[in-house]
Amino acid sequence: MDARRDMVSHCISFCRELREQGLLVGPNETADSLRALSYVDILDEGQVYWALRTILVSRADEIPAFDDCFTRYWTFRRPSGLGGLPTRAPRQQGTLRAGNLSAAPAGLRAGAQDQPLSVDIVRTGASAAERAGGRELRGLGVDGLDEVLKAAARIARALPSRPGRRLKSHRRRGRPDLREALHRNMSYGMEIVELPRRRKKPRHARLVVVLDVSGSMDRYAKLLLQVVYALGQRAGRVETFVFSTSLTRVTREMRAPTFQGALGQVGDKVRHWSGGTRIGGCLKTLIGDHGQLLERNTTLVLLSDGWDTGDPDDLAGQLSRLKRRVYQVVWLNPLLGAPDYQPLTQGLQAARPHVNLFASARNLEQIKRLPAYLKG
Amino acid sequence: MFPSIPAVLERLEEERYIADPAIATSIYLAANLGRPLLIEGRAGVGKTEIANVLSRILDTRLIRLQCYEGLDVSTALYEWNYQKQLLWIKLAEDSPMDAGEKEQHIFSRPFLLERPLLEALTCRDGAPVLLIDEVDRADEEFEAFLLELLSEFQVTIPEVGTIRAEHVPLVVLTSNRTRDLSDALRRRCLYLWLDYPSYEKELKIVTSKVPSIAGELAKQICRFMSEARKLDMGKTPGISETLDWANAMVMLHHDHLDREVVQETLGCLVKDADDLEHLRSHALEELLAKV
């Protein structure tokens, strides 16, 4: 009995640890994992691993944290039956390519029956230098945020909308709404006196915002992060990414109820603050891994100064692929407003033909002027 | 439903679905804990196929709801048969029923059109497999509605009352991640992430799905695919592309890969003009050298 009670309390503390790591684990999930352990062979590491993983993980990017915890909490003398844990390739820090996203099953090591179990763990914690970015970020103030929020709401309204698939009742136009007709004409003894109609409700455009957080952008970071945050709050369907040398999706983090909270969460997630820039490569990742977001009514907003260390042809190529898939590409460049700045960097020259709107975003005044151009 | 995880693996294999312990464990627990299973992964890795195979294994009906933007309750759950209602009213004009009785009559079960979700609840001959495909394409409102259904397995239709599931269906949801699903929905479900298969797994899939293929050719195809997926492609080919290609090879009576054959049939696996151009001009030679 003691061993059993130990197992239960061990599993509970494992769940608690995962919750602290930010996984969606509540009492229900804990109860389910206990139930699951009674269904599988608990001496078989493979079965325990996969059972707990399918219950406790709820999105692909939680898998590395789960794996890390699992190796710390569950040690098995020898793998048997289904085999041990999946072999894991060392992860590159911070990159969000789907290859590492899964970080798991290239196949279980079925042949490793009598070898001692050893798994390489890559700590996902950031180094002190990388964390500094996050802390610095938290220091950014909220002053002026209200103004930015108002501007963002106007930008959101200026984005083109097209008829969606949902229907909404309308007095004169659209297709007859039979359901409503039956209900409404009941009182006339089922003689159709009124004919209510429904028509397609306009649907908001999707906005994909890609923010450059490389070193050269530091001066404008506060305003631009505010803009990005405000768009996330005020526009309906917004997806947010940040990039420097690699691309990270931060949509969820940017939805935090306060600006400070969002900054904290983004700072924790993103490991490549103030690095170099590789716009072309990051756009390629965007198209490859998040291509589903790029629809015909998507407006893509790229916030970058265009100091690219990558190949200009590559950048142009990726931009032209992007432009073919979305409604419009808007490049907001904080340097464009500077009197002594000519967009001469090679990357920018190559990019220009593939951008629908190339505008300055040096200060709030310029951000406010954007809606006029977006209406097109 | 299933006695053990190895038994699930075996049954899947009998139905020619090559699974791994991750898939088998998720199915086993979904069936035993009575929880929906949420499957995420890239296009063409066999997400939908899991539901198909499950319904074959359990010998039950597969009820499929394809999600799309604007999907609403009247297409997913139920709709009144208005034409039938109107006809009945015309026919019953002279009947002695009063208006209240008439109303009650036309809003009763015979006038109800069952859509997939209601069908899954009212299925009489055993628990069906309910596939809610590409749930990320439906909008948030629909997701919220789904939550209620998936936790209680009952729905309320104002005119009729509450309908409870006769047999709790085995629910499989798939998502391509075009939109992040809500935490609430994720919590209701078990989670399975499907990745591109390993070389060994893909080889097993090809030889079981295309039995007439020559052994050496199958190996070459799978090696080619696993190398091709390492390239930075705009649209990375999935398992369905591998199978299309293998079938094409068999149909064209080829028994090994060479430059000419690959050039001819590249359209089976590369479906993006830029990728095709890149492969033809640079990468093909390298890939073939590795195969």
- pLDDT tier for residue A340 given thresholds of 50, 70 and 90: low
Q: Do A28 and B233 touch (CB under 8 A)?
A: no
Q: Could you read off the pLDDT of B234-262 as tens digits, one per residue? A: 788 999 999 999 999 999 998 888 888 89
Contacting residues of A for B40, CB less than 8 Å apart: 59-60
In what order do the strands lie in the sheet containing A328-333? A247-249, A237-243, A206-212, A298-303, A328-333, A357-360
By Cβ distance, the residue of B70, B198, B235 closest to A106 is B198
Question: How far is the C-alpha of A314 from the C-alpha of A351, rounded, in Å?
Answer: 10
Contacting residues of A for B79, CB less than 8 Å apart: 179
Contacting residues of A for B6, CB less than 8 Å apart: 81-82
Q: Could you read off the pLDDT of B151-185 as tens digits, one per residue? A: 889 888 888 889 999 899 999 999 988 777 888 89
The interaxial angle of helices A128-138 and A259-269, nearest 10 deg, is 170
Contacting residues of B for A186, CB less than 8 Å apart: 99, 103
By Cβ distance, the residue of B38, B68, B187 closest to A26 is B187
A220: DSSP letter: G
The pLDDT score that the predictor gives to residue A25 is 92
Q: What does the pLDDT average to over B21-44?
A: 92
Question: How far is the C-alpha of A248 from the C-alpha of A239, rounded, in Å?
Answer: 11
Mark which residues 34-63 of B lie under 8 Å from A by CB. 35, 37-38, 40, 42
Chain A nearest-CA distance from B99, in A, is: 7
Q: Do B32 and A39 touch (CB under 8 A)?
A: yes
pTM exceeds cut of 0.90:
no
The pLDDT score that the predictor gives to residue A141 is 62
- pLDDT tier for residue A204 given thresholds of 50, 70 and 90: confident
The yes-or-no verdict on residue A139 having pLDDT over 70 is no
Q: Do A102 and B74 touch (CB under 8 A)?
A: no
In whole numbers, what is the pLDDT of chain A averaged over residues?
Answer: 75
The yes-or-no verdict on residue A150 having pLDDT over 90 is no
H/E stretch holding B192: strand B190-194
ipTM over 0.95: no
**Picking from A36-50, A350-364, B40-54, which range would have the lowest pLDDT averaged per residue?**
A350-364
Q: Do B200 and A98 touch (CB under 8 A)?
A: no
In whole numbers, what is the pLDDT of chain B averaged over residues?
Answer: 89
Residues 6+ apart with CB under 8 A from A141: A222
Q: What does the pLDDT average to over B71-97?
A: 87
What region does B41 belong to: left with phi over 0, alpha with psi -120 to 50, or beta?
A: left
Q: Do A107 and B201 touch (CB under 8 A)?
A: yes
Mark which residues 131-150 of B lie under 8 Å from A by CB. 139
The yes-or-no verdict on residue A273 having pLDDT over 50 is yes
Residue of A nearest to B89 (CA): A190
Note the Cα A82 to chain centre separation in Å. 34
Give the residue carrying structure tokens 């490991």. Answer: A271
Chain A nearest-CA distance from B267, in A, is: 19
Q: Could you read off the pLDDT of B216-228 as tens digits, one per residue? A: 999 999 999 999 9
By Cβ distance, the residue of B32, B180, B200 closest to A251 is B180
What percentage of chain A exceeds 70 in pLDDT?
76
The pLDDT score that the predictor gives to residue A1 is 52
| Best of B1, B2, B5 to mutate (most A CBs within 10 Å, chain A) | B5
- pLDDT tier for residue A375 given thresholds of 50, 70 and 90: low
The yes-or-no verdict on residue A100 having pLDDT over 80 is no
The yes-or-no verdict on residue A78 having pLDDT over 60 is no
Residues 6+ apart with CB under 8 A from A277: A212, A214, A216, A243, A244, A245, A304, A307, A308, A309, A310
